[in-house]
Each structure stands twice: as C-alpha cells, then as structure tokens.
Structure 1
Amino acid sequence: MGEPSFDFWRFLAGIGVFLFGMSQLETALKELAGKSFRKMLQSLTDQSWKGVLVGALITAVLQSSSLVTLMVLAFLGAKVINLRSSLGVILGANLGTTITAWIVATLGFKLSVADFSLPFLGLGSLSVIFLQQRPVLKNIGYFCIGFGLLFLGLDFMKVAIEEVATQIDFKQYQHYGLWMFLGIGIIVTALIQSSSAMMVIILSAVHAGVVTLTQAAAMVVGANIGTTITVAIGAMGGAADKKRLALAHLLFNLVTGLIIYAFIADLINLTLMLFPVQDALIDLVIFSTFIKLLGVFLFLPFLGLLEKWLKRRFSKSEPKGQTLYIKNVSTKVPEVAVSAVEKEVAATFEKTVDFIIGTFQAGKKRQKMPTWRRIVSEVKDPIENYNQLKVIEDELTAYHVSLQEEVLSEREAESLTNLMLSLRSMIFAAKDIKDIQHNLRQMENSEDTLTTEILKKLRNQLKNSLLDLEERVQAGSLTFNNLNAWRYGNELSLKEINTFLHVELRKNKHELFPVSTLANVIRQTSTSLDNLGNAIDFWKFRTQPEKVEAN
C-alpha cells in the first residue's frame, strides 16, 4: 500500500476559510441584528428556563457561542441579569451550536458545496464593494461572504480527507480504545478554538468512511470538552464573574461528556433505535444534539445550588475600584456599556448627596454626643468621601476613553457625552462644598449667634432640598418642570438667607466671625446646588430628551 497522499495545506486552508467565514457571519449579524438579540437577551432571561431558550435561539442565529458569552458577561457585569440567568443562557448557547452540524449534515454533503458557495461569494463581494454607502445592504453582503466561505472551507476539508480516506486504515488504532478518539476531539478543538469547525472535520471523516460512528461519537464528546479550554484560558486573570461562568461552562461539558462517554455504545444504539434514518451523518448530529440536551436537563434543576457554590469561588478576583457596574462590562457591547455608565452616574449622585449633607451635618451630629463619646469617638473626615468620588470619576473617565474606541450609534455617543457631563457637574457640586469644609467647622465652633443661625438655616435648606430631589429621582417622578422649580426654590431660599445675614448685620454689629466667610459659604452652597441641578439636567433630560418633550 502506497503512502497516503493527504493534502495537508488544502485541509489547513479549509479550516482557516471555515473559521474566517464564521467570523464574517458573526460580524455581519452583529451589525444587522445584534442589538435586537441583546435586547431580547436582556428582557427574557428573568428565569433560568427562559435563559436556556433565548441562549439557544441567539446562538443558533449568530452562530457564535463566544459572542453570546460576551453579551452574557456584559449583562451580568451591569447587574441586568443575575448569575443564575446567565448560567441558563450559557446552557442554551451550548445547545444552539448544534445548528451548524445540522446545516452541514443536511446540506454540506448532499450538494456540490463549492458550486453552492460561489453565488454567495460573488453577490456578497459585489455588495460590499459597490454598496458602501448603504450599511444594511453592505452587511448583507458580508453575511453572504461569510456564508459562502463557510461552505467553501467545508469543501476544502471534505476533499482533503476524502483523498486520504481510502489509504488510511484506522483499524490499526482501534486497539488503543475510544479514549484515543476522545483525546483527539479534545486536543484538536482546543487548538483550532472552534467546536463547530471540529464538528465539520468529524462529519467529513464519517462521510469519507475514515472513522466509525462510535469513534466519531467519542470525538464529538471530546470536542464538547475541548471547547471549554478556550473559555477557561480566556478567563485567566479576568474578573470573578468571568471565571465563574468559565468554571460553570467547564462543569457543564465535562460532567455531561464523561457520563456520555461511560455509556457511549448504549447511547448510540438508543439513537439508532429511536431515529432509524440510515444516515451516519444524521445519526451523529442527533447524538451531538442529545449530548447538549442531556447537559441542559442534567443541570437546569440545580442552577440555584450551582449559583450559590460559584459565588463562593474566586472571591479574590473580585474587580477592584470604587465603581459598581462597569467592572465586568466589556466595552465591546456598547449599548450595555452605556447603560452601565448611567447606573454609575445614578450611584454617584447618591454618593454626592450623602457627601454634601454629611459635610454640613458632621459637626451637628458630634455636638449631640455625650462628652465621653466625643472624647473616645473616631472622627470621620468627610474628605475621604470626596476622594472616593474622585476615584469614581477617574475610573469612569478611563472607561469612557476605552468605550469611545468602539463603534457607537449617534444616540449612544450623545447619551455617553451627556452622562460624562453629568458626572463632571456632580464632582463640581461636591468640590464646591469640599472647598468650604474648613469654614463650616469654624462656624460650628463659633460663639456668634448670627453665625450659628446662618449655619442652621443652611443645614435645614440643604437637607430638605437634597432629600426631596433624591426621593423624586429614585421614584422616577422627577420631571423637567419639577427640576426647574427645585432650582428656583433653592435660589430664592439662599437669597433669603443672604438677605437675613445683611439685615442682621445692619441691626447689630457682629465682629466675632468674618462676614466675608459667611457670604462665601452661602455663595458656594448656591453654586453647589446649581451644579447638581445641571448634573440632573444632563443625566435625566438631555440623555433622555423624550422626557423633556413629555413636559
């Protein structure tokens, strides 16, 4: 028997073209329908079983479980979905990847694959070249190119394997047992980083008669395990939630794979008995789908327990920093990232209000303490809260710079700009109060009755005004007209306090406390409230102009 004439370069080109086609499909679908799918993922994952269905559907259409995983991580980091729901979506994503195998098994080996790909490549290329100014048609062109390359790569792999099929006797390797084919599935899938491409290779080998159905089934099990290695490597050094999802993905496929491998012969016989289609390719795809379904039914009832167990893992990998929502949100999913920035702005607003009220009330709380408690109590410097706000500003600014490198829609770019302007206005509001902190402490220690009365009026005005604003914001009842009324009310109240100061000065000469300091405190307080009003305007009404129009 002569030496095998395996065309390695044709086979390698087939893998490369197939993977590149998958990449083109993913890119085109992200542009054509990605946002719709993400919105569906966001709204339909409140229960685990819904997450499974949505994950399977989105992966079946996008043909990329990695893209779905990226979206899941983004929503998880933004606290849009919880860990349990994200686990359900990952389960569904595993199931959705089987659609590639069904397409290849039903069409790829039944038609002239190269001829089938040519119309898609021709029309797609012409669309991309001549329809650059029509984004939808251009992306449809990219979709056609990806689809054509997918089948062209399949043809290269099929021909390369068919040429060597008649010259290689796999029977000489059978004495090693099925574990060798299991290992081949794991290693090759980990190397090419695509379970879909590996499935095509396995189907090509079955079609060419190179391997038996049982050997191919063992490689399918190996491919399911091998695909988790890529995710695990990608999670190294990542955030805690990313590692938790990677571990869950590994557990799903490893446990399911080992159970299937232990009973592989019996399960193949069961598949042949239940689905007597007399087609090895279809039998193999049914077997692959069965593996995925088994994983879903095996883990779905225990996702709650798994979630609790995972949350106790990787606690040291929790993201550092003061921000709450952007830590785990990839900027690769812009609309989710912008939503995370908005949540950070909302949290920063609450921190800013707490800082301003806390700075004015700090001395008052301490004065009410018994003497012995004032002696032994620890003095909390409000400046620490201000420094925390500055750290949040720095983290959000860095995230904003990174997000600007992505392709944003006009609405997303405008919203992001207004949110960052809102953040800056909040920091300005906090700085106005930080700059008079020492004056407030001097006023607290003053024995001048006018100074004490001014401080009391400022405290009451600030506390009542800010708590009212915060309550309206949290309840979602703040309107554009309400905000303008709030700002006008503050302006009048602070003018009254300033008038009170000058009336009292004319009636009685006060020399115990500098009048210029009192005037400066009132002015800085007014500026702070004005900046906070600007922040709300940018955040609530310029970012969401329909709310202004509704008023």
Structure 2
Amino acid sequence: MEVFKLIYSVLGGLGIFFYGMKNMSEALQSVAGDVVKNTINKITTNRFSAIIVGTLVTIFVQSSSVTSVMTVGFVNAGLMNLSQAIGVILGANIGTTVTGWIISIKVGKYGLLFIGLGIFPLLFAKTNRYRQIGRILFSVGMIFFGLSIMSNAFKPLRTMPEFLSMISYFSEQNYGAYFACIIVGCILTVVIQSSSAMLGITIALASSGVIQFHTAAALVLGENIGTTITALLASVGANITAKRAARAHAIFNLLGVLIIFLFFPFYVEFIDYLVPGAANAVNAEGDFVNVAVHIASGHTIFNVAATVIFIPFLNQLANFVTKITPATGEKEQHHLVMLGDPSQMVTAAALAQAQAEVNKMKDIVSRLYALAEEIYIKQNFKDQERISLKAKDYERITDNIQKEVTIFIVKLMVNPLSEDESRRAQSMIKEVDELESIADYIERLIAYSARGDISKLIRDEAKKDFDALFVNVKAFYDSVSNQILLDRVDYSVAERKSKELRDQAEQIRKKHLDRVSSGEYDALGALTYSDMIVALRKIRSHTENAAQAHV
C-alpha cells in the first residue's frame, strides 16, 4: 500500500509540476510576446548577440527544448543561418538554467502563497495582461506545490532497504557510477521530453535525501544531453542547414559533458566550495536544505563554462557539422515544416516562421509580374509557351503556400494569443488569401496571350492604355507590399489610389469598345482585351484588400 501511495503521490506531484511549467511558459510568452519577437529580429551574424538572443528567449519561454526547436524552424524557413543558430542554441543552454534557480527555492514553502496571489487576477482581472500575470504567479505556485508533493513522496525511499540496494551502485563515488548516472539522466530526459521536468525530479530526490549531491550533479549532466533529442527530432524532414543546427546542439552538449566528466570529482568539490553551506546538510525536519541551490549552481556553471569555452570555436563547430552532414547535391528550398503541433510552439517564433512563408509568396508574385512584363511590355512572344508553363507552376506554388500557412496559423491560434499576436495572425491569413488571388489573376493574364496573335491585339493606343494600367497596378502592389513590410499601412491612401485605378480601367474599356465599334478590332480581340483589363482591375482590388488586412 505504501508503494502505491508513493507512486500516485509522485505522479500527482509531477502532473502538477508539468501543468505549472506549461502554464508559466504560455503566460510568459503572452506577456512578453513583443519582447520575444523584437529579440528574434535583432539576431545578427555576431556570435555574442546570437547567444544573448538565445538566453533571453529561453528565459521567456522557460524551455531550452522549445528554443532549440524554434531555432531549427527558423533555419528551415531561411530566417537564420547555421552560425546564428549555433549561437542561439548556446544561449538557450544558459537561459534554461534560470528554471533551475526558480525551482531551487525551498519547495513547498511558497507554493500555496503564489497560488493564492495568482488566482484572483487570473479569474477577475479585466485586462488580458493582468490575467496573464496572475497566471504566471499561479503557475509558479503550482510548480512549487508539485515539487513539494514529490519531495515528500520520495522521503520514505531513503529508509527503504530494497530501494537503497537497487540504487547503491549509482550512489558510489567513482567514474563508473558517474557514467551510469549520466546515461540514466539522458534516457529519462529523452523519455519525458523535458529537461526542466527531470531537473525538478532530481531536485526533489536530492532535497528529500534519496540521492546525494554528486549523484544529482551527474544526472543533470545527462539531462543536458537528453534535451538535445527534441531538436534532433524536429530536424527530421527539414533542410540540410536545420539538420546541421540540431546536430551542432547535440555535439556541443556532448562535448561539454565529456569535458566536465573528465574532472567530475573536482567539479563537485568546486561547487561545494563556491556555494555556502554543505550540499548534504540536513535540518531538524530531515530536509536537505542546501542541495537544491547546489544543483542549480552546478547547472549554471556547467552551461556558462561550456559556452565560454566554445565561443572561440563556433566556426570550427559549424564546419564540423557541415562536414558530417553533407549536402545532397540538389538545391534545397526553404519551406515551412510543421514541427509537431503548431499550437505547442512559441507564438512569436511561429508567427515569424509564417511571415517568412508570406515573404516567399510575395517573391513568387513578383516573379509572376516579371513574366507578365516579358510578354506584354517587352513583347517576348517567342517564349510564350515557356512563360505560360512557368506561370502555371508559380501559381500552383502560391496555392500550396496559402493552404500551408493558413492551416499552420489556424492551428497556432489554439494558443492564447495577445491582442497584437491575434491581429498579426489574422492579417497573415487574409494577406496570403489575397496574394493567392493576385497570383491567380496574373497567371490568367499571361494565359490570355495564347488566345491569338497578341501583337495585333495590343497596338497603338490600345497598347499605350494597357501598358499604363499595367505599370500603375504593379506600382500600387509594390507600394502596398512595402508598407505591409514596414508595418506602416495607410489604408486611406491605398483606398484612394485603388479607386483611381478602377476609374482608369473603366475608361480604358470604354475607349476600346469605341475602337471595336469603328471596326479597328474584331469581337474576339475585344473580348480578350476586356478580360485583360478585368484581370488588372481584380489584381488592383485584391491589393487593396491586402492593405485593408493590415489596418
């Protein structure tokens, strides 16, 4: 019966801890979404700035695994190169140590206090920001409370002969025991898929006296290796650069652990010397009051030291992973890969990835415009068939991107989003829909050129009128695209320009009907010309709608 009670207490405490960690991460992302977005935008080729970005983002999302997966996604979407990604990953290893310090506070002592402080703004606050702050406090309380339950549940194990006999080998102070603990920590982290959860379990075991500090320190080293599996899994199906980034993370952590492992006894002694109070000191209640701070300190020292050691060798690491992960020989296209369930991704990071796809869609629309110019403005009729086939191919690509981005963002919107994030998500869905329609009409415009001898249809005044409208519509599209990119859309100006273009199109159609009436053009030519003007007018309309989506 005692064993059953221990099992359900540990599982219940772990469940509360997990729930608290997940909610705290989501609430922090909601409150600090703009900070995460702006931090990501400041990534440069400078290795130090990339490390700082990785550190800050991981502090906000409270998970190095999430940051690593996010980084793989950015590389895959073409937002980040390999050197930048490695710098961010190094920073993520530092940022994740904050979690250790949060849960190293004396567990249980403040759990109910934070739950009490957080529940009222969570339930009754009028603004989302204050509700999320309440959610953060409530979640921190859940973390402490869950750890307290686990710690109390583990206490009977320290006097259970069967359990002590089973773990006796892992408690020994020799390299065989250290290695075994590292392997166990790695495997359990891979299974649980959360180094933060394993760190919490390790602190709970050590705080209750089930394991000593040296065993806990070895487990933490293993957890640092196990956490890399998430990014490795995320890179499956991604492009070569994303695979290299994930492997760089694994190699970095493996080498860091190997270096510390070689000097492990001195590493433990150094932490004991640095942190006040004996690691295995026991108070009157039988709690190991100092060990949690020792574990958090060891976690921080390991990750900071490993990063400092590897900073000068980032280029060598990048070259090494490039060598062991050779390119396939085919030119790869960056593309958005559904990294598991988008609703579980960091919102700011996921929106940045989706924006990269929108930008790629804009690039394809620009290529379609160039193909249309080649036929109608430059009158390259020799390559008409090749241009038409390429235009159809581009149009199919825009269809796929529109579908992919829409599904991705809709799934992402399952997350609680801030007001700004919600606005950006909805704007992107509308924008890709309008871009897909613009691509459709440009492709139709190109297809109309195959109806007959286009050089006879567009000549003299008819050509001048068409060229003027084509150039003006394209200029309107370029202007709106730039405003959207800079997030400075003036819809009143766009609306006025759109009306001018609509009036211009109507005047051109009327003038052409007069030419048909006078016998200058036949009926089929008139219909084709009318369809061409309508296509430009539709492009104008969808461009205006794209501007309106960002108001």
Fold shared by both chains (TM-score > 0.5): yes
2:359 is matched with which residue? 343
What does 1:279-294 correspond to in 2, within 5 Å? 279=279, 281=291, 282-294=293-305
> Whole-Å Cα distance in 1 between the matches of residues 111 and 502 of structure 2?
69
Check 1:214–1:40 CA distance in 2 against 1; reply closer, same or farther (3 A cut): same
Percent of paired sites with the same residue = 22
- Correspondent of 2:151 among 135, 148, 158: 158
Establish whether residue 352 from structure 1 lines up as the match of residue 368 from structure 2.
Answer: yes
Structure 2 unpaired stretches of 5+: 281-290
- Correspondent of 2:523 among 501, 510, 516: 516
1:528 is matched with which residue? 535
Superposition deviation, residue 294 in structure 1: 2.5
What does 1:452-463 correspond to in 2, within 5 Å? 453=460, 457=464, 461=468
Superposition deviation, residue 348 in structure 1: 3.4
Establish whether residue 427 from structure 1 lines up as the match of residue 439 from structure 2.
Answer: yes
SS in 1 for 2:23: helix
1:548 is matched with which residue? none
Question: Residue type matched to 1:142 in 2?
Answer: R
Establish whether residue 200 from structure 1 lines up as the match of residue 200 from structure 2.
Answer: yes
Deviation string 1:276-314 (CA, Å, 9 cap, x unpaired) is: 654452444322212101221233233344445556737
SS in 2 for 1:250: helix
> Whole-Å Cα distance in 2 between the matches of residues 224 and 248 of structure 1?
14
> Whole-Å Cα distance in 1 between the matches of residues 506 and 3 of structure 2?
92
C-alpha RMSD over aligned residues: 4.1
Superposition deviation, residue 496 in structure 1: 6.6
Check 1:309–1:400 CA distance in 2 against 1; reply closer, same or farther (3 A cut): farther
Asked whether the equivalents of residues 148 and 204 of structure 2 are also in contact (C-alpha less than 8 Å), the reply is no
1:116 is matched with which residue? 110
1:27 is matched with which residue? 26
Larger radius of gyration: 1
Question: Residue type matched to 1:292 in 2?
Answer: N
SS in 1 for 2:215: helix
Alignment TM-score, normalising by the size of structure 2 = 0.78
2:36 is matched with which residue? 37
Check 1:45–1:502 CA distance in 2 against 1; reply closer, same or farther (3 A cut): same
Deviation string 1:492-512 (CA, Å, 9 cap, x unpaired) is: 599579758956985xx76xx
Asked whether the equivalents of residues 84 and 307 of structure 1 are also in contact (C-alpha less than 8 Å), the reply is yes
1:254 is matched with which residue? 254
Asked whether the equivalents of residues 53 and 92 of structure 1 are also in contact (C-alpha less than 8 Å), the reply is yes
1:149 is matched with which residue? 142
> Whole-Å Cα distance in 2 between the matches of residues 443 and 103 of structure 1?
72
What does 1:398-413 correspond to in 2, within 5 Å? 398-407=404-413, 409=419, 411-413=423-425
Which range moved further: 59-68 or 267-276? Answer: 267-276
SS in 1 for 2:374: helix
Question: Residue type matched to 1:28 in 2?
Answer: A
Question: Residue type matched to 1:536 in 2?
Answer: T
Check 1:500–1:153 CA distance in 2 against 1; reply closer, same or farther (3 A cut): closer
Superposition deviation, residue 433 in structure 1: 1.1
> Whole-Å Cα distance in 1 between the matches of residues 158 and 232 of structure 2?
34
Asked whether the equivalents of residues 393 and 423 of structure 1 are also in contact (C-alpha less than 8 Å), the reply is no
Alignment TM-score, normalising by the size of structure 1 = 0.78
Asked whether the equivalents of residues 76 and 242 of structure 2 are also in contact (C-alpha less than 8 Å), the reply is no
What does 1:234-383 correspond to in 2, within 5 Å? 234-238=234-238, 240-274=240-274, 277-279=277-279, 281=291, 282-307=293-318, 310=321, 313=325, 315=327, 326-327=336-337, 332=345, 333=347, 335-336=351-352, 339-360=355-376, 364=380, 366=382, 380-383=386-389
2:396 is matched with which residue? 390
Deviation string 1:297-349 (CA, Å, 9 cap, x unpaired) is: 2332333444455567375699988xx66457857436425533541442233
Check 1:156–1:238 CA distance in 2 against 1; reply closer, same or farther (3 A cut): farther
> Whole-Å Cα distance in 1 between the matches of residues 139 and 191 of structure 2?
22
Asked whether the equivalents of residues 429 and 527 of structure 1 are also in contact (C-alpha less than 8 Å), the reply is no
Superposition deviation, residue 233 in structure 1: 3.3
> Whole-Å Cα distance in 2 between the matches of residues 309 and 520 of structure 1?
62
2:284 is matched with which residue? none
1:185 is matched with which residue? 185
What does 1:53-64 correspond to in 2, within 5 Å? 53-64=52-63
Asked whether the equivalents of residues 76 and 328 of structure 1 are also in contact (C-alpha less than 8 Å), the reply is no
1:103 is matched with which residue? 102
> Whole-Å Cα distance in 2 between the matches of residues 114 and 490 of structure 1?
69
Question: Residue type matched to 1:438 in 2?
Answer: A
1:369 is matched with which residue? none
> Whole-Å Cα distance in 1 between the matches of residues 140 and 115 of structure 2?
8
Structure 1 unpaired stretches of 5+: 367-376, 546-551
